[in-house]
Structure 1
């Protein structure tokens, strides 16, 4: 079974994230969505809340290919999380060149730290999702703006309950 890890903060999950999940489902048999507990950011939602929101979102999401999806939090090195799941691939979405530069550095670091062969697959964001970033979603929601074009209903409900 081919397993991929899709790591991120997902605070909150956006339609851009869902697009990457859908596209990655065509490339592997199993995706473990790894919600980082130590991302260096100040999250709006706890890891358990993000897991709950993402699972609720995935229940409403139709995948284009048969693929098992698992959502877990992690607070270890990504390569250790990959070993735990016997994963061969990391999936990363990139919106612009600056994302790619950062992600390429992380891919090189993970390759150096790992004693296994790890592939990092970069999926370019679809143009309609390139401007979507979780930090902007939170800002728009805090100011009372409509975030429905950018996030699924479970996220809207969670934002409304939190802000």
Structure 2
């Protein structure tokens, strides 16, 4: 009998970028269910509310679910990633790698997580070349300055960013 592979994909997703979509698609190829987990930090003020981010994630996830046959759920968490992953029954945590800097940081996190939750494996997914330079921070900055973010984010996110940063 096949094992139910549940992946936990944590992040701020503020906003969802094409890099996130790339990672979600790849995670859905290796897991039966992917729980996209929006990290909530009370010390940070996000551009998009949790409800807005949840809605945007669900919008971009729908075609990926159809394409891969995986289920995508969205949740929030404000505690340790491994604790939140364990709560949803995840056996793996998905971490995207854009470059060597990401690798160095993520290896440290993976090592610490492995000690705290040895039954949850960290899975590193390399970003596709076209999305490697994309970060949510850069997308927010470009949008705030009136730049075109359509190459970097899904159309629904681009539309929401235009609402957040209307140009005269």
| TM-score (ref. length: structure 1) | 0.92
Aligned to 1:70: 73
Q: Which runs of 5+ in 1 are unaligned?
A: none
Check the 8 A contact 2:39/2:76 in 1, yes or no: yes
Check the 8 A contact 2:65/2:71 in 1, yes or no: no
Matches within 5 A, 1:55-134: 55-61=58-64, 64-114=67-117, 116-134=118-136
Check the 8 A contact 1:4/1:91 in 2, yes or no: yes
Deviation at 1:57, TM superposition (A): 2.2
Alignment size in residue pairs: 162
Deviation at 1:39, TM superposition (A): 8.6
Deviation at 1:60, TM superposition (A): 4.6
Matches within 5 A, 1:38-49: 38=41, 41-49=44-52
Question: Cα RMSD between the aligned structures?
Answer: 1.7
What SS is found at the alignment partner of 1:87? Answer: coil
State the alpha-carbon separation in 2 of the partners of residues 68 and 83 from structure 1.
18
State the alpha-carbon separation in 1 of the partners of residues 90 and 162 from structure 2.
36
Which deviations, in whole Å up to 9, do the C-alpha atoms of 1:86-121 show, x marking residues without a partner? 11000111101001111111111111222x412111
Check the 8 A contact 1:57/1:153 in 2, yes or no: no
What SS is found at the alignment partner of 2:68? Answer: coil
What SS is found at the alignment partner of 2:122? Answer: strand
Check the 8 A contact 1:11/1:45 in 2, yes or no: yes
| TM-score (ref. length: structure 2) | 0.90
Q: Does residue 4 of the first structure (1) align with residue 13 of the second (2)?
A: no
Q: Which runs of 5+ in 2 are unaligned?
A: none
Aligned to 1:141: 143
Which deviations, in whole Å up to 9, do the C-alpha atoms of 1:116-140 show, x marking residues without a partner? 4121111111111111111010111
